[in-house]
């Protein structure tokens, strides 16, 4: 790999070899230090709201179709942050810290221009397999997002293929007095390219959808270089109602500009707003940045021995907890969410979606408030 530091080349080669034997969960594999990120996966749900303005304005739409279009615009606007931020900040995609069961992350986007405050609450609700649940809400705007996320990974020899599990449900209370609406958001597949060279980046693949309780469906296809156009990171979305004919097509780059017909649909060059998080000194012991503080410091400063030592300490403590629970016949209590075997809202909306790839049932994590 061209981008692998000389002294880590052997480690990178053996890591790549071990990817071939991976059994769906990359998170628990040990990777060479240069590819480690100091950020835990519990922070990732913040990417859903780095355009709080677009999120808040969904409820201002004048009709179900207008609101569906606003949901689609907000969703497409989140993709750049979700899938390119690590490359921008750290030079390539990196391996995030693998959250412990019960790890928490809280943040806010303050009120600006009367749009209302947006709050984010995240909890790691499973460790094996890793699942992260999140709740985002702007009470004033009447918009909230509830979801959970996991990943199944496989390696093709050149790229890592990531199938996302879980879904998100957006709830909107329209400002014009229309009834409350729900939107099911399914998640795209990822292909991690550039792995061999040691400079991974994400390309989105296949398709995802947004299904509204009002009958509107947005089907979104993703392509890399050389399909719809010569460009990377492109998408094409079509809007339909109750499975009827195409009402509108949206096309372009999710990292740049997209159009609906001749009109600009979204220009992602507008600056994003990062989530505001309490200083570590004011955080509780289960809060992500406090829990991983020493590991993150080790990774950032290149003191990998400190990072490894602290990571082992955290993992051993977790192992001991699980042993104690097994011995005492107890189990870990989730703090913010309650697990349900079949998410009722999901079932209804997935049924309207008629997409064979979307399973009829999925687990749910209900926010306890
Ligand atoms: C998590 C949920 C977010 C969207 C998202 C973005 C990037 C994904 C991440 C999810 C899961 C973990 C992920 C990451 C990109 C790379 C990383 C797949 C889906 C893997 C584990 C690290 C690969 C690095 C190796 C080459 C070492 O909403």
Contacts with 140 (C-beta within 8 Å, 6 or more apart), sequence order: 56, 111, 115, 116, 117
Q: Whose CA is nearest to atom 3 of ligand 1?
A: 44
DSSP state of 140: T
Question: How far is residue 26's CA from residue 236's CA, in Å, rounded to a whole number?
Answer: 30
Closest CA to 140 of 44, 43, 53: 53
Contacts with 138 (C-beta within 8 Å, 6 or more apart), sequence order: 52, 55, 56, 115, 116, 117, 118, 119, 144
Residue 114 CA to ligand 1 centre (angstroms): 34
Query: CB–CB of 23/289 below 8 Å?
Result: no
Residue with tokens 């309490």: 278
Query: CB–CB of 196/17 below 8 Å?
Result: no
Cα three-residue angle 270-276-280, rounded to 5 degrees: 145
Closest CA to 183 of 167, 162, 196: 167
pLDDT of residue 229: 67
Query: For the residues of 232-262, what is the DSSP string, one character each?
Result: SSEEEEEEEETT-S--EEEEEETTSEEEETT
Give the three-state DSSP class for 215: coil
Question: How far is residue 264's CA from residue 134's CA, in Å, rounded to a whole number?
Answer: 31
**Confidence band, pLDDT 50/70/90 cuts, at residue 226:** low
Q: Whose CA is nearest to atom 23 of ligand 1?
A: 95
Q: Quick one: CA torsion of 9, 10, 14, 15, rounded to 10 degrees? A: -40
Give the three-state DSSP class for 276: strand
Q: Give residue-wise pLDDT tens across range 82-129.
A: 999 999 999 999 999 999 999 999 999 999 999 999 999 999 999 999
Q: Whose CA is nearest to atom 27 of ligand 1?
A: 95
Q: Give residue-wise pLDDT tens across range 307-357.
A: 999 999 999 999 999 999 999 999 999 999 999 999 999 999 999 998 877
Residue 255 CA to ligand 1 centre (angstroms): 17
Residue 91 CA to ligand 1 centre (angstroms): 15
148-166: average pLDDT: 95
Query: CB–CB of 209/358 below 8 Å?
Result: yes
Q: Whose CA is nearest to atom 5 of ligand 1?
A: 82
Contacts with 31 (C-beta within 8 Å, 6 or more apart), sequence order: 15, 95
Q: Which atom of ligand 1 is nearest to the CA of 153?
A: 18
Q: Which atom of ligand 1 is nearest to the CA of 132?
A: 2
Q: Which of 27, 43, 93, 255 to mutate to test the pocket of ligand 1 (most atoms within 8 A of CB)?
A: 93
Residue 26 CA to ligand 1 centre (angstroms): 9
- Ligand 1 pocket (Cβ < 6 Å) reads 26, 31, 35, 44, 47, 82-83, 93, 95-96, 149, 151, 162, 164, 190, 192, 195, 200, 202
49-53: average pLDDT: 97
pLDDT of residue 307: 96
Q: Which atom of ligand 1 is nearest to the CA of 149?
A: 2
Query: CB–CB of 170/144 below 8 Å?
Result: yes
Question: How far is residue 147's CA from residue 235's CA, in Å, rounded to a whole number?
Answer: 23
Q: Which atom of ligand 1 is nearest to the CA of 27?
A: 21
Cα three-residue angle 170-167-148, rounded to 5 degrees: 95
Is residue 39 within a helix (H) or strand (E), and if so which, with residue range? strand 36-40
ipTM field: 0.98
**Confidence band, pLDDT 50/70/90 cuts, at residue 228:** low
């Amino acid at each position: 790999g061209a981008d692998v530091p000389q002294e880590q080349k052997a480690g990178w080669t053996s890591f790549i070899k071990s990817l071939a034997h991976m059994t769906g969960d990359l998170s628990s594999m040990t990777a060479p230090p240069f590819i480690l990120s100091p950020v835990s996966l519990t922070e990732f749900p913040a990417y859903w709201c780095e355009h709080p303005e677009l999120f808040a304005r969904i409820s201002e739409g004048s009709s179900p179709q207008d609101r569906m279009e606003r949901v689609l615009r907000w969703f497409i606007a989140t993709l750049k942050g979700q899938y390119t931020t690590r490359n921008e900040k750290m030079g390539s995609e990196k391996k995030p810290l693998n959250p412990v069961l019960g790890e928490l992350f809280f943040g806010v986007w303050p009120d600006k221009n009367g749009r209302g405050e947006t709050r984010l609450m995240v909890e790691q609700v499973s460790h094996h397999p890793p699942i992260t649940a999140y709740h985002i809400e702007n009470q004033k705007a009447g918009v909230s997002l509830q979801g959970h996320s996991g990943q199944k990974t496989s390696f093709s020899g050149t790229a890592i293929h990531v199938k996302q599990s879980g879904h998100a449900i957006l709830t909107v209370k329209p400002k014009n007095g229309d009834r409350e609406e729900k939107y099911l958001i399914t998640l795209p597949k990822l292909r991690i390219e550039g792995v061999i060279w040691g400079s991974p980046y994400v390309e989105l693949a296949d398709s995802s959808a947004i299904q509204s309780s009002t009958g509107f469906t947005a089907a979104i296809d993703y392509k890399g270089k050389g399909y719809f156009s010569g460009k990377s990171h492109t998408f094409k979305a079509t809007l339909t109602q109750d499975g009827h004919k195409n009402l509108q097509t949206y096309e372009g780059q999710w990292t740049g500009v997209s159009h609906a017909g001749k009109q600009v649909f979204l220009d992602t060059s507008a600056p994003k707003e990062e989530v505001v998080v309490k200083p570590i000194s004011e955080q509780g012991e289960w809060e992500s940045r406090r829990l991983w503080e020493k590991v993150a410091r080790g990774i950032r400063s290149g003191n990998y021995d400190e990072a490894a030592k602290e990571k082992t300490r955290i993992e051993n403590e977790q192992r001991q907890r699980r042993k104690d629970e097994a011995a005492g016949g107890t189990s870990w209590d989730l703090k913010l969410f309650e697990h349900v075997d079949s998410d009722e809202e999901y079932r209804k909306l997935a049924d309207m979606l008629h997409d064979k790839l979307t399973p009829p049932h999925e687990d749910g994590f209900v926010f306890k408030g």
